[in-house]
Amino acid sequence: MSSVYRKHPLTAGRLVDGLAFVVTAEDNKLHTLNDTASHLWQLCDDGLTVEAAAESLVESFDVALTTARNDARECLDELVSRDILTIE
């Protein structure tokens, strides 16, 4: 079964001009996400798999599926390590 990424329930965030700004509760830090991370963060409301993330990156950024899959996994895992997302 594929891992599902979701927004961390204790974070607060907003989109401004397409970029996400997220505050993490544990350390009260403001994180500014790049285009790719902002795009994926928006999709995590209902849960997101790496495969669904990769498909969305292919559609939105005109990148090869293999590259998108690797980038999505790396980005999502980075957001988990920063307590912006959780993984199930």
Checking 72-77 for CB contacts under 8 A at 24+ apart, the result is 72/40, 75/36, 75/37, 75/40, 76/5, 76/40, 76/48, 76/50
Fold annotation for 5-83? Arc Repressor Mutant, subunit A (1.10.10)
pLDDT for res 1: 65
0.95 surpassed by pTM: no
* Residues 26-78 pLDDT 10s: 899 999 999 999 999 999 999 999 999 999 999 999 999 999 999 999 999 99
Q: Hey, where are the domains in the chain?
A: 5-83
- Angle at the Cα of 24 from the Cα atoms of 23 and 28, rounded to 5 degrees: 80
Query: Do 70 and 53 form a contact (C-beta atoms < 8 A)?
Result: no
